[in-house]
Amino acid sequence: MADNLREHIRKDCLVPVRYTYEGQNKTQYARLINYSDGGLCLKTRTPIEQGAQLELSLEGYSPKESSMGEFDRYPVAVCWSKQIPEHGLPVYETGLKYRG
């Protein structure tokens, strides 16, 4: 088995998220499937273009509050997107990195 050369440890999860393309108002839906200190990975039904700038929202999560709150938006950039084998409709995994 190949060594894991990732800079950050990934943590698996399955969290519903919303995202919009920067400058647009149309909300898209996805599942957050893992995250790390360097970025995160989404599972979507549509491909997302590499280099796209997105605003990601995690429902009810705010790092500044301990209770459930409004949608907080996090700026991210798409590093890669690939179709993965799955039964039924096409499914894509998309790697994102945090933007400042």
Q: What is the pLDDT of residues 63-100, one digit of tens each?
A: 555 444 455 778 999 999 999 988 888 899 999 999 97
Q: What b-and-e string marks burial along 62-74, b requiring 16 or more CB atoms within 10 Å of the CB?
A: eeeeeeeeeeeeb
> For residue 18, what are its two tokens?
């919303």
Contacts of 82 (CB under 8 A, 6+ apart): 92, 93
Q: Where does residue 8 rank: exposed (0-12), middle (13-18), buried (19+ CB within 10 A)?
A: exposed
Higher-confidence residue of 18 and 5: namely 18
Predicted model pTM = 0.78
